[in-house]
Amino acid sequence: MMEQASASQGVVRIDGSTLSIDKVVRVARMGASVELAREAWGRISDSRSSLEQLLDEGSTVYAVNTGVGDLLDVRIPQDDLKTLQVNLLRSHACGVGEALPVEVVRAMMLLRANALAKGFSGIRPQLVDMLVGMLNSGVHPVIPRQGSVGASGDLALLAHLALVVIGEGQAESSAGVGSGAEALSASGISPLVLEPKEAISLINGTQGMTAVGCLAAEDAANLIDNAQIAAAMSLDALKGTVTAFDESIQKVRPHKGQLAVAKNMRALLQDSEIMESHKHCARVQDAYTLRCIPQVIGATLDAVWHAMGVLGVEMNSATDNPLYFPDGSRILSGGNFHGQPVALAMDYMGLAAHELGAFSERRLARLVDHKLSGLPPFLTRHGGLNSGMMVPQYVAASIVSENKVLVHPASADSIPTSAGQEDHNSMGMTSAWKARQIVDNVSRVLAIEMMAAAQGLDFIPQHASPAIESVRILLRSRVPRLEEDRSMARDIEVVARMISEGMFVDTAEQVCHYTRA
């Protein structure tokens, strides 16, 4: 369980408009504390006061004094409105499957609080304060992963989060995993009694898919950084050329990602003794996985940037329904809870991340094939007695094949719900979770490529570029050269962890002018 919020990470202020992926990561993974901006408190309070006035006047408002979904025409008596809040949470909290990781839960809580802080939900400021207090005290609802269809938001998942607000459900806290009431009590927090409109405002939104998406996008950007380093290592080990990365080539097809990757490749490979040694060889051009690194990795970079842009808008949006607009006291029912923007972006990002792995595995295959690499077969001196890097390539191929299944777009499917009232659903949570899985898988493919490239470089008497040599030295500090066969399962996981922690990128940055994704 994550400890209480860490002061060392500073304070993330939420106001409904200025949240970023970086801030989400700080709160979700690093335990940064959270506070509600003063101006947001006043905006939320004014919104609530105006909504209460409308209710006092007898207005009928969906999900406030009516049923939900296909039961929208059922009017709820005034005396039952607080009971309706509890019933909405209990009935919707029916998710199944493994519990979401704590980092995802924290991101969901932060994102829901920020959406409410915009001041269009008609809730009390105390509700946002409650979510902030739970975050800062390390009270993390136990939320099953499965159950969202991604329209009307991530209803089932957010309902599990909201149950803890009222002292029900399950949560993890300093006291361990227990009931919501026990978790709140252990942290000195009292449950809230929800007022009309507050239940639907807690559960109607896209914070599940957006939380997973933000963390996956952060990890995908890190993968792109590492993919360029892995590609540079392989290029040097395979005695390729930097000619294809010349700036003039990129400028006549100026995709931003392509330009950025080509610049990085030139920096990573600058002053390579290996390249200088074969500068005038007879080879005219390299294979696509070496020559087209800017075009392929650059396209993935563009896709991840696009996804980050979508997530940036989504995390600072009001996504529940109905929305209350204090100017003119208007309550409007709409569809901001529909996860289609995020679903499409996550399917796109998952496909783009998969391409990093597919691209990497083909370079790995070249490295272990002596007919293509000019290196010892399977990168071992005593082939036959030793299999060397033969089977790690099998593992990479298996992972890439698994990702080919995962890239099927979840957003292409829709199953109607609520007796046809909700007749198109985004399946955005599935899109986001698949993207997360793909990114995690690709980290291991890149790890295997880096290990093979380092092994290949070990056979070449000349030095690689200073940047690549620094990366190789770092890798060798954790994973020794493969002199004779050993199980490499642990080695792969070690290097994958180094990738995830950004260690290779940090090292390269210290040596050359490398620009992160």
- Catalytic center residues: 62
SS3 readout for 3-43: CCCEEEEEEEEECCCCCCHHHHHHHHHHCEEEEECHHHHHH
CB 311 within 8 A of CB 367: no
Q: Are strands 323-325 and 170-173 parallel, antiparallel or unpaired?
A: unpaired
Nearest of 85, 86, 505, 63 to residue 320 by alpha carbon? 63
R_g of the chain computed on alpha carbons: 26
By the 8 A CB rule, do 169 and 160 touch?
A: yes
- Taking the C-alpha atoms of residue 17 and residue 23, their distance in angstroms, rounded to an integer, is 12
Nearest-10 Cα torsion for 71, 74, 80, 85: 30
Rounded Cα distance, 1 and 484, in Å:
40
- Residue 162: how many CA atoms within 13 Å on its side-chain side? 32
Among 431, 500, 506, 429, CA closest to 467: 506
Continuous H helices in 328-369:
340-368
Q: 178: which strand partners?
A: 171
In this structure, what are the phi and psi dihedrals at residue 383, rounded to the nearest 5 degrees? -60, 140
- Cβ atoms of 401 and 269 closer than 8 Å: no
* Three-class SS state of 382: coil
φ/ψ region of 379 (left if φ > 0, alpha if ψ in -120 to 50, else beta) reads: left
Residue pair 293/268 in contact (Cβ under 8 Å)? The answer is no
Q: Contact, 13 vs 20, CB < 8 A?
A: no
Cα distance between residue 231 and residue 237, in whole Å? 10
Residue 57 DSSP class: T
CA 223, 226, 232, 236 torsion-angle sign: negative
Q: Give CA–CA dist 368/366, Å, rounded.
A: 6
3-state class (DSSP) for residue 74: coil
Q: What are phi and psi of 13, to 5 degrees?
A: -90, 135
CA 117 to chain centre: 23
How far is CA 295 from each of CA 22, 251, 286, 309, rounded to the nearest angstrom?
27, 12, 14, 21
Please give the Cα distance from 487 to 468 (Å, whole number).
25
